[in-house]
Chains A and B, each alone.
Chain A
């Protein structure tokens, strides 16, 4: 109803209409979901959140950015860290975060966390309960990555100064994103995916593990980043394997890449295989597609892993004549063998931990629901002896700007 409309009404109707309008506006107040006005300068923007477990309670540490220190217009005052770490302990995460206002002048605002780090102790005990708060909160963005602090507490990871990026949480986020795109032994797991895999049928989750390399004390000092070569740094290191929400072990780099090949999560990576003689040949993976299918052979479960991949030849460290088409074919075959070995190594390790992180059970659940119903309880045992047929089909697309290695004909 517009002002004009109101003015044209008779007084009685006008009052009634105004009353209705007021009622509607009052009702609006009850419709307000996230409903608190807060100015940007009253927020302590958390970029990294760490959760550890003490004997009886949760220890939460948050890396809060100090906007004044990262401002473009005003230079940061030297000696001040761009981020501040607050920690508190309480029985629940929610309490712990609110309790932080005892030390923090600003309200802890966790919608924008980039990384969530789970301490190893907590992870071994089970992280499920600790994640309830984060999955329940309506103001969370869900685009942050989860890490497991390998042999460390989450707090110690969040305390280390990092070179190149002055906000450590950013550094971890960016490093994981880049390495998963270009190197592949890591997994960009968001909260949604992690919970999906915890509760999913016939699948167990993995997270990327992160660790402090070097002296912890040195890393907590700003001097650490004032040198060209930082003594202490944070790095991702393979995958951490979970049984449901409990950490059971780690995969090394190769196994992690193998895992990512099976899960079809490889964007690009570099692998090398040995030459016929001494030396190695390296390939860049430009595209790979893996299909996992299940079938029943005489009642026995069989998984088929079919990989199709295109690679470029990147580096040759032996006198192997790469200009000969037949040789390229040979290389393709041995690369295929290598890929299968990678995947097998991942499966072998997973069998040691007795967890099906590849979701083979999930494939049966989808494709043979009747069968899955029967053997569901027995899957862990069957996973150990499951027949897995690997097939790899790899094409070498380009050999680069030279045919044979230029030192092939050099007389020594």
Chain B
């Protein structure tokens, strides 16, 4: 693990020195006599004075007692410890580390910066009087959420575990799926104040070295006080800030992330969030669900087409309705036209206002549904469906056709497996509605052309966002629009994986 990156102004990277009392005093004053700081001072049987400092609540105190405190207090007493008591403080510390402490992770440290970082991460710090070297003992232990079912990306078939907030748990979940010597975890910290732990995970030799290096370079460039969620990192490392489309993939499913790593992608675990980032991200990936690979390939292919269709519906349905019903009535079959005209009898607003109002209403309902306390959920859904759906139609404020359009739009947005992509679609929907209302189908088509140009120009960590569709890579089509049987997918994605791209011996 690398040393703390940001320099704490209070400690200023000074080496540890002075007597034990000075050191303890410095720790106490630096932390402002914080009430969760526990300092246990001891006089060992050799006569040496030492102290164990730790933060209550993030340290496993039982483990600390067994591995450190009881081990220290059980040192051989003075007569047999004659040799020991003659040791200088520094060799004595090494002796403790080598022979006495029964913990797995014991390492020396000699500057304040590092000391505070580990102390505040939940390590116990052992200071020995007269020694400029301290020991940190990994006895981290705190309450954490158990590994549970994924909330945002559920499947009917497939593994049911999800990452939790703890980065070590996340790493372990990945390690359990990929037991290969080439799996690498590069740990680092980001955030001047939060010093959030990050792990860059990839398969050495399968991931492209340049991409791994680029991830490291961009992560190293992050300069921010706090990283509380993966979204911070995502925004700071993506290729282009101003795009409605996500260019970094995220998932809380270990199988999805492991699948990506196997393709040669690089995962970034962020401590404190169950959502793991995956780069480079391609447009088509946001339409692929973990289940695609556990179901038969033909079914998966069909379902993928439904997802693409849903993306178009959720982006374009209201816009097309507005465009056709106010500009191009001659395109509709006559019966449908009369039906729609009958529904619009007495509706006081133009179709575009009607559409906007209903879409905004739905977005409000949706946002309320996410934020509101669960206990009032039912009340809100009754108000939503009855008042806004039925009553508005009966009162003649909106036409029934519009309610159908808004509903299908809303439902279709949830078919896209990646939430971040369906957000983009929601945003674009309004843009397209404005275009449709002012220019009809012409506006919609111009919007689509603009969108295609924008998408083709996007890159994610140097890989074209629309690949393997644009530029077209024939060998990668097996897992793009279609999902070919595994027996045919012999190669890893061309632009993502390194030259070592054989999935299997042929």
Give A residues with C-beta under 8 Å from B: 2-4, 7, 28, 31-32, 34-41, 43, 45, 47, 65, 67-68, 70-74, 109, 111-112, 114, 139-141
Q: Mark B227-260, 1 if CB is under 8 A from A, else 0.
A: 0000000000000111100000000000000000
Please give, as numbers and ranges, the residues of chain B lying within 8 Å of A32 by CB-CB distance: 439, 442
Known A45-B338, A67-B341, A67-B342; contact A40-B327, beta-carbon cutoff 8 A: no
B339 at the interface (CB under 8 A from A): yes
Determine whether the beta carbon of A111 is less than 8 Å from that of B329: yes
How many Å lie between the Cα of A111 and that of B339 in the bound state?
Answer: 16
B18 at the interface (CB under 8 A from A): no
Please give, as numbers and ranges, the residues of chain A lying within 8 Å of B338 by CB-CB distance: 45, 65, 67, 70
| Residue of B326, B329, B344 with most chain A CB atoms under a 10 A cut-off | B329
Please give, as numbers and ranges, the residues of chain B lying within 8 Å of A31 by CB-CB distance: 442
How many Å lie between the Cα of A140 and that of B344 in the bound state?
Answer: 23
Determine whether the beta carbon of B334 is less than 8 Å from that of A34: no
Q: Which of B157-165, B179-187, B345-353 interfaces with chain A?
A: B345-353
B176 at the interface (CB under 8 A from A): no
Query: Which among A35, A40, A114 is the interface contact of B344 at CB below 8 angstroms?
Result: A40
Q: Mark B367-407, 1 if CB is under 8 A from A, else 0.
A: 00000000000000000000000000000000010000000
Q: Is the interface of B mostly helix, strand, loop or mixed?
A: helix
A149 to chain B, nearest CB (A): 22
Please give, as numbers and ranges, the residues of chain A lying within 8 Å of B400 by CB-CB distance: 73
Smallest CB gap from B348: residue in A: A41
B424 to chain A, nearest CB (A): 14
B207 to chain A, nearest CB (A): 28
Determine whether the beta carbon of B337 is less than 8 Å from that of A71: no
Query: Which among A35, A40, A68 is the interface contact of B325 at CB below 8 angstroms?
Result: A40
Determine whether the beta carbon of B339 is less than 8 Å from that of A109: no
6 contacts between A and B (CB under 8 A): A32-B442, A37-B440, A40-B329, A45-B341, A67-B345, A71-B343
Query: Which among A28, A34, A65, A140 is the interface contact of B327 at CB below 8 angstroms?
Result: A34
How many Å lie between the Cα of A44 and that of B304 in the bound state?
Answer: 43
How many Å lie between the Cα of A373 and that of B150 in the bound state?
Answer: 82
Determine whether the beta carbon of B339 is less than 8 Å from that of A112: no
Known: A67-B342, A74-B345. 15 other contacts (CB 8 A): A4-B241, A28-B442, A31-B442, A32-B439, A37-B327, A38-B329, A40-B344, A41-B346, A43-B341, A45-B341, A67-B338, A71-B342, A72-B342, A111-B329, A112-B337
How many Å lie between the Cα of A109 and that of B332 in the bound state?
Answer: 13
Determine whether the beta carbon of B351 is less than 8 Å from that of A73: no
B448 to chain A, nearest CB (A): 14
Smallest CB gap from B401: residue in A: A40
A196 to chain B, nearest CB (A): 22
Known A28-B439, A31-B442, A39-B350; contact A72-B339, beta-carbon cutoff 8 A: yes
Give the residues from 316 to 342 in chain B that come closer than 8 angstroms, CB to CB, to chain A.
325-330, 334, 337-342
Determine whether the beta carbon of B326 is less than 8 Å from that of A39: yes
Query: Which among B334, B343, B351 is the interface contact of A39 at CB below 8 angstroms?
Result: B351
B245 to chain A, nearest CB (A): 11
Please give, as numbers and ranges, the residues of chain B lying within 8 Å of A35 by CB-CB distance: 440
How many Å lie between the Cα of A70 and that of B336 in the bound state?
Answer: 12
Determine whether the beta carbon of B446 is less than 8 Å from that of A3: no
Please give, as numbers and ranges, the residues of chain B lying within 8 Å of A141 by CB-CB distance: 330
How many Å lie between the Cα of A141 and that of B331 in the bound state?
Answer: 8
How many Å lie between the Cα of A140 and that of B334 in the bound state?
Answer: 12
A400 to chain B, nearest CB (A): 37
How many Å lie between the Cα of A139 and that of B446 in the bound state?
Answer: 22
| Residue of B240, B341, B439 with most chain A CB atoms under a 10 A cut-off | B341
Known A2-B242, A71-B342; contact A45-B337, beta-carbon cutoff 8 A: yes
Please give, as numbers and ranges, the residues of chain B lying within 8 Å of A74 by CB-CB distance: 342, 345
Determine whether the beta carbon of B334 is less than 8 Å from that of A47: yes
Determine whether the beta carbon of A71 is less than 8 Å from that of B334: no
Determine whether the beta carbon of B327 is less than 8 Å from that of A71: no
B454 at the interface (CB under 8 A from A): yes
How many Å lie between the Cα of A41 and that of B341 in the bound state?
Answer: 6
B344 to chain A, nearest CB (A): 5
Query: Which among B242, B340, B343 is the interface contact of A7 at CB below 8 angstroms?
Result: B242
Determine whether the beta carbon of A71 is less than 8 Å from that of B442: no
- 6 pairs of A and B residues whose beta carbons are closest in the complex: A4-B242, A71-B342, A111-B330, A67-B342, A67-B341, A40-B344
Determine whether the beta carbon of B330 is less than 8 Å from that of A39: no
Determine whether the beta carbon of B341 is less than 8 Å from that of A114: no
B334 to chain A, nearest CB (A): 5
How many Å lie between the Cα of A35 and that of B351 in the bound state?
Answer: 17
Smallest CB gap from B437: residue in A: A37
Determine whether the beta carbon of A139 is less than 8 Å from that of B341: no
Determine whether the beta carbon of A34 is less than 8 Å from that of B345: no
Determine whether the beta carbon of B343 is less than 8 Å from that of A112: no
Give the residues from 392 to 450 in chain B that come closer than 8 angstroms, CB to CB, to chain A.
400, 437, 439-440, 442, 446
How many Å lie between the Cα of A158 and that of B328 in the bound state?
Answer: 27
Please give, as numbers and ranges, the residues of chain B lying within 8 Å of A45 by CB-CB distance: 337-338, 341
Query: Which among B326, B328, B343, B350 is the interface contact of A73 at CB below 8 angstroms?
Result: B343
Determine whether the beta carbon of B326 is less than 8 Å from that of A38: yes
How many Å lie between the Cα of A111 and that of B342 in the bound state?
Answer: 17
